[in-house]
Structure formats: structure tokens, C-alpha cells
Structure 1
């Protein structure tokens, strides 16, 4: 079976970058940790919420890299200071990536009760109608 690409569709011009984003997202290695929600908070805004119990603001980083929102957490190794009889709260390092559409901007990030909230806003471009003149050759 041959792999269909966006280049296989002759009416879709200039979408090669979108195809690369889709492939990169599929390979990003996002596991199930940490769990997250994505909610639509208005017609043009969204909120991503990650459950980051055990992390603090200084052990988390949020960056936008090539139209990808990347949230990383690095766990502190405090196991030498404490003796655990049972350790069921995961606090391992993680990286979560979210592909951002054109016009999506990352707003503020807030930590609240073990949850990291990241707000996104979608700025829809204005519709532009352009008339192309035809000249005689």
C-alpha cells in the first residue's frame, strides 16, 4: 500500500510544511504522562491543563519552537533525603508537545493546586479577496 501525501493532491499547493508538522507530531513520543485536558474557553481561545503534582514553577519550562508548544518538566532527585515506603506519585521528567495552527498565540501560564494552565488565543486572519489582472502576452 502506498503512502498518500499532501503532494499527491494536485489542488493543495504549499502544504508540505503542514505534512512535516503532522509527521513530527506523530513521532513526538508523547506518552500518557502527565495527563492533560484541552478545553475551548471561547470561540477564539483554548486552555491546556496538565496535572503536574510534585512539580513547581522552577522545574517546569514552556517554549514555542517552530509552531509547537513544548512543555517540559524536570524532576528533582530528593530521594536521598527521604525514605519512601511506597512511592505512587509519579514525578519523572516529561515533555509534552502541541502543534499550534497558524494564528494561535500562547498567552499566560498559571500554576494552581498542582495543575498547570496554559491559555491560547486564536487570531483569525482577515479574509482577503485579490483580483489578478490578465494581460495579453
Structure 2
């Protein structure tokens, strides 16, 4: 893949930033390939479905690092020598990146009938979920006594 340096053109032109940005992104991988859907399947469940016909599971890599989900497909070279008269099916390599929210994890992935389905679930840790705090009345022990009990339990 070739990259072009547009820096010299930025110095001698005014107002063409958007054009150079479009040219720069046109030379990089397409963000709309392969086509995909994102759907909400439950309150905290999501599914990304990608059309990757012709790819085998061992040719697709699914990686989650932090809040980034990377799906990459690298087609193995065909061992047989074919003479193509027309090639309408694109078997090109791809890399697709998705930004996921905090606490969203990949629950599983399947490849069936040319569709890669990646199931995602949002799992908020218990300590971050909202919880109800009881308010003590004058008839119950004060908050200070609760703090003393906690301190004594830690010391033990």
C-alpha cells in the first residue's frame, strides 16, 4: 500500500484541507468494506453482523483491546491456478475497527452462510451499579457506629 505526503501542498494552498483529507482516506482501507449491520438484541446485548462470503473461520481474526474491537480478514492464497473470465466476488483482505462502550465485551462469534456474527454484552461491575442506601433513623445505630464496626472488622 502506498501513502502520499500532502504536507507540501498544505503549505501552498488555502481552503483545500477537506480535499486532501478525502484523498488521504481514499488511499487507505475502505471503512464500508465489508458491509455490516449493528443491532441491539436485548437491554444489554448487541450483535455486529458482517458479510464476509468466501472467508473461512481460520482466515478471520477477532481481537478486542480496551474499547476497540478489530475484525481482520486475510484470504489465504489460492493454491489452484484458475483463469477467471469474470470476477464479481471480492475476496480482498479487510480490516474493520469498531469502538465499543465501557464494559462491553465479546460474548461469542459465529461464521455461518457467509455472515460473521459477533455477539456483544455490556457487563457493568457490581460496584458501579446503582444501589439503594438505607437512611438510618434515630432509633437505629448511627453512621459513626457503622464506621467503627467496619474499622474493627478490617483490623481483625
Match of 1:126 among 129, 140, 143: 129
Give the structure-1-normalised TM-score. Answer: 0.68
Q: Tell me the equivalent position of 1:87.
A: 87
CA distance in 1, matches of 2:72, 2:57: 11
Structure 2 gap segments, 5+ residues each: 1-24, 134-156
| Count of residue pairs brought into register by the alignment | 104
CA distance in 2, matches of 1:74, 1:36: 17
Instruction: Check the 8 A contact 1:30/1:97 in 2, yes or no.
Output: no
1:129 CA drift (Å): 8.5
CA distance in 2, matches of 1:61, 1:83: 29
In our comparison, the structure showing a higher alpha carbon Rg is 2
Give the structure-2-normalised TM-score. Answer: 0.60
Greater helix share, structure number: 2
1:119 CA drift (Å): 0.1
The one of the two structures with greater contact order (alpha-carbon pairs below 8 A, sep at least 6) is: 1
Instruction: Check the 8 A contact 2:29/2:94 in 1, yes or no.
Output: no
Greater strand share, structure number: 1
